[in-house]
Amino acid sequence: MEEALLLKNPPATEETYTHQWEDIRNREPGLVRLLDKIARPQGTALIFSHDDPDGITSGLIFKRMLQKKGWKAALRLPKEFMLQPSQLADGLKENPDTGPIFLLDKGTLAPYADYGQKHPLYIVDHHPTQKAPIDCVIYNPSLEKYTWCSTSILAHGISTLSGTRDLFDDFLCLIGLKGDWAIEPVKGLLADFVKPFLKEFGMGYQNLLKIVKERPTQFDSEQREVTCLLSRITEFVHGTGGGGFSYFYHDRHPDLKKIDHAGCIAEGLEAISDKVDSLKKITSLDQFVGLIPEPSRKLLQRMFGFFLEDWENASKTLDTTARILRLEDTAIYLFVGVKVPLLPMIGSIKLFDLKKKAGDKTAQIIMVSSVSDEYTHVSVRGTGDRVHSGKFCGNMQNTLQARFPEFKSLISGGGHPKAAECTIKTGKVTFFQVLSQAMAQLNEMRDLDLLWRDGKLSGKPVAKAREIGLEYVPQTTI
Report CA-CA distances (Å) from 277 to 72, 152, 167, 270: 28, 21, 9, 15
Compare 364 and 129 and report the one with higher pLDDT: 364
pLDDT per residue as tens digits for the range 184-221? 999 999 999 999 999 999 999 999 999 998 889 988 87
How confident is the model at residue 315, as a pLDDT? 77
Q: What is the pTM of this model?
A: 0.84
- Please, is 276 exposed, middle or buried when counting C-beta atoms within 10 Å of its C-beta (0-12, 13-18, 19+)? middle
Q: Is residue 163 very low, low, confident or very high in pLDDT (cuts 50, 70, 90)?
A: very high
DSSP bridge pairs for 376: 370, 424
pLDDT for 454 beyond 90: yes
Q: Give the residue-averaged pLDDT of 223-244.
A: 93
> What are the start-end ranges of the H helices in 292-374?
296-317, 343-358
Confidence at 478, pLDDT banded by 50, 70, 90: very low
Q: What pLDDT is stored for residue 246 in this prediction?
A: 81
3-state secondary structure string across 129-158: CCCCCCCCEEECCCCCCCCCCCHHHHHHHH
Mean pLDDT value across residues 160-166: 98
| Distance of alpha carbon 294 from alpha carbon 296, whole angstroms | 5
Please state the rounded mean pLDDT for residues 448-457. Answer: 95
- Residue 328 confidence class, pLDDT cut points 50, 70, 90: very high
Mean pLDDT (whole number) for 128-147:
92
Q: What is the mean pLDDT of residues 213-239?
A: 91
Peptide bond into 295 cis (omega under 30): yes
Contacts (Cβ under 8 Å, ≥6 apart) of 436: none
113 has pLDDT over 60: yes
> What's the average model confidence in pLDDT over 425-437?
97
Query: Would you kindly state where each structural domain of the chain is located, as residue ranges?
Result: 5-227, 321-468
Write down the pLDDT at residue 345. 77
Residues 342 and 335 sit within 8 Å (Cβ to Cβ): no
Cα 241 to Cα 238: distance, rounded to the nearest angstrom: 5
Dihedral sign, Cα of residue 470, residue 363, residue 211, residue 276: positive
What CATH architecture does domain 5-227 belong to?
Answer: Alpha-Beta Complex (3.90)
Do 5-227 and 321-468 share a fold? no
Fold of 321-468: Diaminopimelate Epimerase; Chain A, domain 1 (3.10.310)
Share of the chain residues as helix, strand and coil, in percent rounded to the nearest 5: 50, 15, 35
Q: Does residue 68 or residue 214 have the better pLDDT?
A: 68
Query: What is the average pLDDT score of the chain?
Result: 94
pLDDT band at 476 (very low <50, low <70, confident <90, very high): low
Contact predicate 76/92, CB 8 Å: no
